[in-house]
A = this chain, B = another copy of it.
Amino acid sequence: MRILIVGGVAAGMSAATRAKRHNPQAEVVVFERGDYISYGACGLPYVIGGEVESFGDLIARTPERIRSEGIRVRLRHEVSGVDASDQSVTVQEAGGRARREPYDRLLLATGVSPVRPDWATPGVAGVHVLRDIPDGQALEASVKSARRAIIVGGGYIGLELAEALRARGLSVVLVERGLDVAGRILDPEYQRRVRQELERHGVDVRCGVEVQALTASHGRVTGVQTSAGLLRGDVVMVAVGVRPNVALARSAGVKLGHTGAIRVNTKQETSTEHIYAAGDNSESVQRVTRRKVHVPLGLTANRMGRVAGVNMAGGAAHFPGIVGSGIFKTFGLGVARTGLSQHEADALKLDAVSVDVESTDHAGYYADAAPIWVRLTAERGTGRLLGAQILGHPGSVKRIDVIAALLHSRGKVHDLAEVDLAYAPPFSSVWDVLLVAAGQASRAARLPRTDTTAP
């Protein structure tokens, strides 16, 4: 049994480890085109910001350690083609010759690549994306001598980097094409609070602004030309999204889904026999809507990888899908979401109602009580939980996990409203903000559609 894995970060390494553990006799080979495997890409912004000491700290397991588990690791090996009919791939070591490698099972764990818009002319120094360790090292080198940063894109990476670059003493302009930051993460009311947090910490946020071109001098970036004029900067961070790496899948005749990512079943099998896909390049099922989605996140990638690994090695595992949890912090604000926003529920024509509650993260009379905002979204009539958004002190927003767990089992707001969540003054109000929100949502969900006012 020969298992080939293309890509050695989250999904790929999880798959390799699980496959070897499930079937120690199997030959498991990982091809990674880069120099690094098994690292936590989610930690990259924090190395820039200084909360993580070095890029090396992000490496979970070294190649030596992985090899000691009997897994063959081939760094700087790029897989350029798949021949599904004779079960082989074409692989080329950096500076070497292409060769063919046969497989019994093949995993495509090729991840995503940052989107590089047309205006992000290659070859201009000081223009960055942030996806892997070399990207991080390049950005770090630029930041050392930079004074003015321009971040293009107000999603997770852009928002995390805004804090990191301010912490490094740079002035920061954040340019977002949409109406506000965190546009695909939160509903508009909550987007605004995130923007205000950025502005409170000196970030110059420009929304509704399109970048049209870079300006450069002697091959170094000097700024960006936008729909609202010229912005000057000596480092430009391009964080406008990612797209799945599917070229290899296409070459193998593997079908893509409507999201553009690889279509897989719950065993992580693709449409082509003996070829699996897992991680950021793959679709998953959103359990709340039962639709296929493309939500590339670290935990999901690890999980899909484990499932693929077990199945490739002859076992039987299933990936149950996601409820769509996400969390980040920017400056003093923690932001978490799970399930659907009201906006997303509306787009799916669900009969959804949302309530908003502002409270304190612990008893108001106890030292350092900070505000917390919760939006809970439920299905009208049934009271089924559809999603939540939470903003507050970073220490308080992981409450989102309560909602995630209930979403997973299709729980209802009135069930949540009845739980004895743990209470003591340093930890919450007597009525934890989630209980207040659940009580209000429970009432709101029973209202007829015409009466849309949340209490």
Interface residues of A (CB under 8 A from B): 10, 40, 42-43, 46, 51-53, 57-58, 297-300, 302-303, 320, 322-329, 334, 336, 338, 363, 365-367, 394-395, 397-402, 404-406, 408-409, 411, 415-416, 418-428, 430-432, 434
Q: What is the CA–CA distance of A170 and B42 in the complex, to the nearest angstrom?
A: 46
A320 and B406 alpha carbons, distance in the complex (Å): 18
The smallest C-beta distance from A407 to any residue of chain B, in angstroms, reads 8
Determine the chain B residues whose CB is within 8 A of the CB of A52 once the complex forms: 365-367, 425
Q: How far is the CA of A346 from the CA of B430 in the complex (A)?
A: 31
Query: In the complex, which residues of chain B have a beta carbon less than 8 angstroms from the beta carbon of A303?
Result: 420
Whether B420 lies near A416 (C-beta < 8 A) is no
Check if A422 sits within 8 Å of B51, measured CB to CB: no
Check if B423 sits within 8 Å of A51, measured CB to CB: no
- Given A367-B51, A398-B428, the answer on whether A327 and B405 have CB atoms closer than 8 Å is no
With a cutoff of 8 Å between Cβ atoms, the chain B residues found around residue A302 in the complex are 430-431
For residue A319, which residue of chain B has the nearest CB? B418
Contact A365 B58 (CB under 8 A): yes
The residues of B that contact A423 with a CB separation of less than 8 Å are 42, 297-299, 325, 327
Q: Beyond A42-B425, A411-B409, is A299–B420 a contact (Cβ under 8 Å)?
A: yes
**CB distance B427 to A398 under 8 Å?**
yes
Q: List the number of copies, as a whole number.
A: 2
Instruction: A405 to B424: give the CA distance in the assembly, Å.
Output: 17
Which of A334, A422, A425 is packed against the most chain B CB atoms within 10 Å? A422
- Bound form: Cα–Cα A430–B297 in Å: 10
CA gap between A397 and B424 in the complex, in Å: 12
Docked pose: A425 CA to B366 CA in angstroms: 28
Known contacts A405-B416, A422-B336; is A43 also within 8 Å of B363 by CB?
yes
Considering the complex, give the chain B residue whose CB is closest to the CB of A418: B320
Question: Is the CB–CB distance between B434 and A329 below 8 Å?
Answer: no
Rounded to whole Å, the gap between the CB of A369 and the closest CB of chain B is: 10
Task: Tell me which of B299, B329, B334, B336 contacts A431 (CB under 8 A).
Answer: B299
* Bound: A363/B58 CA distance, A: 10
Q: Which residue from chain B places its CB closest to the CB of A49 in the assembled complex?
A: B367
A43 touches B326 (CB 8 A): no
Q: What is the CB-to-nearest-CB distance from A163 to chain B, in angstroms, rounded to a whole number?
A: 10
Q: In the complex, A192→B66 CA distance in Å? A: 37
A416 nearest CB neighbor, chain B only: B405
Q: Which residues of B contact A298 (CB under 8 A)?
A: 423, 430
Contacts of A365 in B (CB 8 A): 40, 43, 52-53, 57-58
Is B426 in contact with A405, judged by CB distance below 8 angstroms? no
* Least distance between A58 CB and chain B CB atoms (Å): 6
Which B residues touch A338, using CB under 8 A? 420, 422
Question: In the bound complex, do residue A409 and residue B415 qualify as a contact, i.e. CB atoms below 8 Å apart?
Answer: yes
State whether B406 touches A422 (Cβ < 8 A): no
CA distance A421 to B297 in the complex (A): 11
In the complex, besides A42-B425, A302-B431, A398-B422, 8 extra interface pairs with C-beta distance below 8 angstroms are: A46-B425, A52-B425, A336-B422, A398-B398, A398-B427, A404-B420, A404-B422, A405-B416
